[in-house]
Amino acid sequence: MNRSRATKKIGFVVVMILFGVALFSTRYYLVDLPVYHFFGGGEGPDPPALHLRGEFVESNLGAAEGPSGALTVRMIAQQFVFVPQCVEVPAGVPVTFRMTSADVVHMLSFLGTDYGLKVVPGAVTEATFTFSKPGTFKIPCHEFCGAGHYAMRGQLNVVPQDQFAGMLPGERRACELR
Amino acid sequence: MSYASWAWRVRTAAWIGLVAGLCVIALLLAGRNSSAQSSANPASANPASANLSSAKLASANAANAEPAVRIPSNVAWTEETLKLVSRGDAFRGSLLGRRCNHCHGEEGFSSVAAFPNLAGMDRMSFWKQMQDFRSGKRSSPVMEPIAQGFSQRDAADLAAYFAMLPTASDPQDNRAFPQAMHDPARATIAIRLIIFGDGQRGIPPCQSCHGPVFYVKGAPPLAKQNGDYLEQQLQYFSNGFRSNDINVRMRSVARQLTAEEKTAVSEFYGAGLGPGAN
């Protein structure tokens, strides 16, 4: 093999371009470790004491409406259930998920959509998703978390925007898993 | 090629500069990315204030009133709690435990199936229930006043004592456990739930938290527990009467179970057939 340096360089550049295209053309948007956990210097919630203080007390979980009308869904992932197990959001509206773990690393994938979330103890994973089509999506845990991992499953109900009943002040909405 | 030549120095400096520049760009991109993510919720744009965001929302807009904070249990599995509980003295516990004999049996096995057996009980779960009875987070007209008479250390000693009691059968003892299943056909339902759970309905298998496969902190072993007691507690968890489980874990599971499934699982464990019973 006797290739010139120029040929090698061109080959390298072509491979890198192909790699980049492959990386950015995937339709799976996994929100991995929150970057601001390292750069922002913020303190995350205390995994064994989520139920005592902070935004993840059990009365604050579920979908909540902010002052600007934006929806925020707060969830806990723990061995081996998501709390709340079922959340209801309107279609076509950006919904912010704020999640944390009470024990080990978990991962949600919203089956049937392109979205996924990694949930890490001691940090809040935040991401804003817009679910375009209404439907019922299962949320299995996608990161091995222990003996009951395979049965750890939640549900996301995306309802048409006009069928999503307005939120009362202070309401936290969850739904019944079917 | 001489390493002292100017051409080499310039080339090295250029490479270092290029790498450093790329690092700076990556850092800037990462920073911008995270602020873009956080900006979706302006109240929590600063992660340090995330814990206070609910308070801020409330003050910012009175129409968005916050729900009253509900705390299921004052116990959290912090290092201090684990240390305190694991330092329990079983001998002192055996003396304190005489008060428990009347209902929970001299060997930790009750003569009435509606009362729980305490022999072989997990230390952490025993201690947590005693604290919850004391603080009223778990309500029981009988146990609340009794638990108020025990300090945190007393509860840790009792926990050490009951954890030590043997769970082998004793024909001499007057105990309710085990009781045969009313309908043995229900065993198939119970086995399926205990070993496999039901993933479609989000029900993890019982044995993945209550042993013997895997234990979660605060989850008691069930292999030697009375069926009537278990069924009653499942009922209480599902209708919300008992709600001292941390992060709604047991309530979420019990809510999914049908009445028949609750009976099947409880009777199966109460008959001494559960995994880990022998």
pLDDT of A12 reads 94
Question: Is B247 within 8 Å of chain A by CB?
Answer: yes
B254 and B213 in a common domain: yes
The confidence score (pLDDT) of residue A5 equals 85
Report if residue B90 sits inside a domain. yes
Range of the domain at A36: 28-163
Interchain proximity B33–A172, CB inside 8 Å: no
- Establish, for the pair of chains A and B, how many residue pairs have beta carbons separated by less than 8 Å: 175
Note down the domain range covering B262: 184-270
CB crowding A46-64: b at 16 or more within 10 Å, else e:
bbbbbbbebbbbbebbbbb
Confirm or reject contact between A81 and chain B (CB < 8 A).
Answer: yes
For residues B218 and B256, membership in a common domain is answered with yes
A85 has a pLDDT exceeding 80: yes
Look at residue A75 in the predicted model and tell me its pLDDT.
94
Q: Which of A58, A81, A96 sits opposite B70 (nearest CB)?
A: A58
At B41 the pLDDT is 39
| Candidate from B68, B197, B247 with C-beta closest to A148 | B197
- Least confidently predicted of B42-51, B64-73, B179-188: B42-51
Tell me if chain A has a CB within 8 Å of the CB of B72. Answer: yes
- Is the domain of B223 the same as that of B252? yes
- Answer yes or no: do B158 and B206 share one domain: no
- Pick the closest to residue B151 from B98, B100, B88, B220 (CA basis): B88
Is pTM beyond 0.90? Reply is no
E strand or H helix that includes residue B263: helix B259-270
Question: Total domain count for chain B?
Answer: 2
Residue A68 lies inside a defined structural domain of this protein: yes
The answer to whether residue A3 sits within a structural domain is no
At which of B134, B164, B194 does a domain end? B164
pLDDT value for B65: 72
Of B28-42, B111-125, B133-147, B187-201, least confident by mean pLDDT is B28-42
Q: How confident is the model at residue A177 (pLDDT cuts 50, 70, 90)?
A: confident
Strand-strand pairing, A153-159 and A135-140: antiparallel
Does residue B55 surpass a pLDDT of 60? no
Binning chain B into helix, strand and coil, the percentages to the nearest 5 are 55, 0, 40
Quote the pLDDT of residue A96. Answer: 93
Number of compact structural domains in chain A: 1
- Return the closest-CA partner of residue A72 out of A90, A97, A55, A94: A97
**What per-residue confidence (pLDDT) applies to B3?**
65
- pLDDT on residue A8: 87
Indicate whether B33 belongs to any domain: no
Domain membership of residue A108 (yes or no) is yes
Q: Is residue B196, in this structure, part of any structural domain at all?
A: yes
ipTM higher than threshold 0.85: no
**Nearest residue, CB atoms, A153 vs list B199, B207, B214:** B199
CB distance B204–A151 less than 8 Å? yes
